[in-house]
Amino acid sequence: MSDVISDYQKWKQQGADLRVQAKQAMEARFRELLAEAVHIAEEYRADFGGALKPASPVTTFRYKASAHKAKKAAKKAAPPKAEPPVAAKPNPKVAGLQKRLATAKKKLDDAKTAGAPTRVLEDKIYEIEDDLRLASQ
């Protein structure tokens, strides 16, 4: 009887080890594919001037080239500020876009709590954020 129990425990341990290895392999492959997708998206944008649209079931893996680069640049170039910057007059177009963005995000939150479809609102927010990014350049 103890042979059966010890065999089962060995089998269970081997299964756990294999599970950990499979998890690590899948995570590594996933990162590789995302990195390749980012490279292709950047190349496509550079060559053709537009963003690649993901397949319709894919809605959460949106790649924004400028946001990614801006984060890296912000991390690298964060010098200490000696004096506060002078407040410049805000661009009216940027202010309008920020207001539209805030309204759209509120509508999205309301739609999520109501259980209504949110795809259209998410796309609208994405477009406003893109317009805002372009206006601030």
- pLDDT of residue 63 exceeding 60: no
Gap between the terminal Cα atoms of the chain: 74
Which of 61, 55, 10 is CA-nearest to residue 31?
A: 61
So what's the pLDDT on residue 84? Answer: 46
Q: Would you say residue 126 has pLDDT above 90?
A: yes
pLDDT at 62 over 90: no
Q: What is the largest CA-CA distance in the chain?
A: 82
Q: What is the mean pLDDT of residues 99-104?
A: 92
pTM (2 decimals)?
0.37
More confident site: 127 or 91: 127
**In the predicted model, what is the mean pLDDT of the chain?**
79
DSSP string, 33-46: HHHHHHHHHHHHHH
Write down the residue that tokens 């890296």 correspond to. 72
Mean pLDDT of 34-56: 84
Residue (of 76, 121, 123, 83) closest to 103 by Cα position: 121
Indicate the pLDDT class of residue 116, thresholds 50, 70 and 90: confident
